[in-house]
Chain A
Amino acid sequence: MKKKLFFLIIYFLFLGPLSSSDNKTELSEIYKNLRCLVCQGQSIADSNSDFAATVKLVVQDQFNEGKTKDEIYKFLISKYGEWIVYQPTFSKSNLLLWTLPYFIFIMGGVFIFLIIRKSKNNKAN
């Protein structure tokens, strides 16, 4: 076991050059979260369209002005509507979207818990 761990460590130490990301990723993260409105289900980051190029410039300008991610999204949403962002906002109308999956997950957990507890009672009787 120890030998295996040792080899694993060595393996990872000498693996090819991995470098961490720089501040440029924040921009590309924003691009990836924006829908290219003239394309079929493509993000701004992936699209080659003129629309994508224009939005990229707008985002770059605002980013260089020091605006935060959320401010940029807010600006674009006010212009194009919520359709443009891939991550839906945490708003009242999206409440169910964000909470329903977890609600169902918890219900499932409760259900399994009840089954197990009931089974134990069966045995005790």
Chain B
Amino acid sequence: MLSNIGIALVYLVLIFSFLIIYISSVDLKTSSQFIEKNIYKLSLFQITFTVLSFFTLIIGFVNSDFSLINVYENSHTAKPLFYKIAGTWGNHEGSLLLWVNILVIFSYLFLIFNHTHNKKFRLYTLIFQNILILGFLFFLLLNSNPFNSIYPIPLEGLGLNPILQDPALAIHPPLLYVGFVGCSIYFSAAMASLLSGYAGKLFAQSIKTWVKISWCFQTLGIIVGSIWAYYELGWGGFWFWDPVENASLLPWFAITALMHSLIVLEKRNTLYSWVIILCLSTFILSVTGTFLVRSGILNSVHTFASDPTRGIYILSFLSLMIFSALIIFFIKNKKETYNFNLKSRETFILANNWFMVFFLVTVLIGMLYPIFLDVLTNVKISVGPPFFNIVIIPLVVPFMFLMAIGPKFGWVKSQNKIFYKILFLILGAIIINLLIFYFFGKYSFLSNLIFIAAIFLILYSLLDLKKIFNNKKKFELPRIISHLSFGLLVFFIGINHQFSLEEDFNLKVGEIKKTNNYEINFKDMKVKENKNYKAIIGNFKLTDLKNDLAQYLNPEIRIYSNPETLTYEAAIRTKITSDLYLTMSNVSRSDYYNIKFQKKPFMIWIWISALMIALGGFMQLILKKNED
């Protein structure tokens, strides 16, 4: 029943997409200044049916309707309601339907909200967006239909991967999808801009808000994923340079570059071609990332929905997208003359893009090089965290300096006398760094530079912040918050990296382990039955030898029944100055448990600074709205 409704709705969306493309192409030739009313109506129908189809699937999951293969494979009656709903997008087919939903929603919103812009440009955008929608709809119907039915109807489902049963991971995909798929609208808009000749400043204004929205959601999505990895994977880290994380970083670098150069296009009416390239590549990179992850080409802990046969479809669709984008770009792109002065804000923004492209290229090479090497020479190599740290971190130092002083320069040409201020603040940063170095411990030369640069950026941004409260130039506030938070983020990651404590040992119940600063007492263990899993809970008494403070930590080993899986839940004690992190895991064929104990200074501040970067973005969205 649900299967039929769902499939019918998807076909309706398909038909409406064709209709919209057809009527829009007809409307392109008319002389009227306004878009035909029917197109609005059709789009409204399209969005209604799309959203309804998604709700149909959600109902299937909520009611545990196992006549749908997708529900049978990814759900279970014993699951809490929240995870039943989250299960809708926790699998490949469902997430693809979500993907189509976001494509359609953005298509509709762009049509409605950009009514002041050129008609031809809007129609072309609508046409391209609907071509994308068609592409993904065909993929969904031919290869990954979430509404496929199964007969005879199974009595019970197979269940959702337990490590996905987590609040952070339930909201992680929708956030990321709004971020990644949201990029589609300015992919379409860029193509439309090339074809309709609606370029420059006005084009920048038409996509500005959309770029900001997807930037905010991407940033937030990446952070939530990272927080999830921290407490769920039980490794105590927050960024692993894992292929899936890298895949999410690629479009993020592109979009961050875009967000900055878009300002130049709006204010100075230059860099148009570059902005177009970034618009096109942001979405292309999003799809590439999805392709690499879904096809199973990349080996990763985060890969939950991989299947090689899907790869071929996404790959051909992707090639088609890149190919047509390149052709239209080279035919339609006009040569620009640039007028950049060294001491101007646009030059600094160009420098931002320069670094962003470098970060992007490094991550891309790190991801793709092993694949090529394997194909060409049959040698398998791993490119992991050490590679990225070695190549990228040194360049973060100059990047942060530019980030601090760049916004101080005016457009076109400025005579800003900030030399002494810079000198003074660098001196301050060096002194603070020396104090940390002297009192708390030794670290490498490069780490010194990182700290100095981060502190410099923080100090500079704090001064900016103070200035804002004096002269009430509120529109600068979001930028300052994001830049300040980036400095804080690097600073706290640095501290965290330098001063983390890590112990790895085996213990039996009743045994005590003494380290330099802590005494860890494995007191006892108990078993607890829960709704969808059984938990073995360890009870550890942790004594800080310096001040004789004792506290109890309770890591768990969880045995999920459907599907049968073991997961390890870390016990985390978060304080303002540090996190204590303890995991236990069973050692096979023995009474011993493997214990990993970590002390991670300022962990909470890493999350706070990262979230504040995103907050800056959201503030900009709201503040700009008020200005209009």
Contacts and interface: CB of A to CB of B under 8 A. Distances in A.
A21 interface: yes
Contact of A84 (B301, B382, B435, B504): B382
A53 B587 contact: yes
B243 interface: yes
B369 interface: yes
Given A12-B436, A32-B385, A108 B233 contact: no
A86 B385 contact: yes
B354 A93 contact: no
Q: How large is the interface on B (under 10, 10 to 19, 20 to 34, 35 or more residues)?
A: 35 or more
A18 interface: yes
A84 B379 CA distance: 12
B239 interface: no
B386 A41 contact: no
Interface string B81-124: 00000000000000000000000000000000000000000000
Interface in A40-57: 40-43, 45-46, 48, 50, 53
Interface of B: 233-235, 237, 240, 242-243, 299-303, 337-342, 347, 350-351, 354, 357-358, 361-362, 365-366, 369, 373, 377, 379-387, 390-391, 395, 428, 431-432, 435-436, 439-442, 462, 495, 498-504, 516-517, 546, 568, 577-578, 585-588, 594, 601
B365 A87 contact: no
A39 B379 CA distance: 19
A124 interface: no
B327 to A, nearest CB: 24
Interface string A83-125: 1111111000110111011101100110010011011101100
Given A9-B432, A41-B301, A119 B516 contact: no
A112 B302 CA distance: 38
A53 B517 CA distance: 25
A9 B428 CA distance: 10
Given A20-B440, A108-B357, A35 B382 contact: yes
A120 B381 CA distance: 47
B358 A101 contact: yes
Contact of A105 (B395, B436, B495): B395
A45 to B, nearest CB: 7
Contacts of A66: none
A48 B385 CA distance: 20
B362 A22 contact: no
Contact of A18 (B237, B303, B373, B441): B441
Contacts, number: 160
Nearest to B384: A86
B382 A119 contact: no
Nearest to B383: A88
Contacts of A19: 440-441, 499, 501, 516-517
A78 to B, nearest CB: 14
B514 to A, nearest CB: 14
Contact of A48 (B341, B382, B500, B594): B594
A111 B395 CA distance: 18
A28 interface: yes
A20 B301 contact: no
A105 B340 contact: no
Given A18-B601, A108-B358, A41 B385 contact: no
Contacts of B440: 18-20
A104 B341 CA distance: 23
Contacts of B338: 115, 118-119
Contacts of A25: 502
A97 B235 CA distance: 28
B495 A86 contact: no
Contacts of A53: 587, 594
B499 A20 contact: yes
B546 A22 contact: no
Contacts of A32: 385
B380 A116 contact: no
A82 B516 contact: no
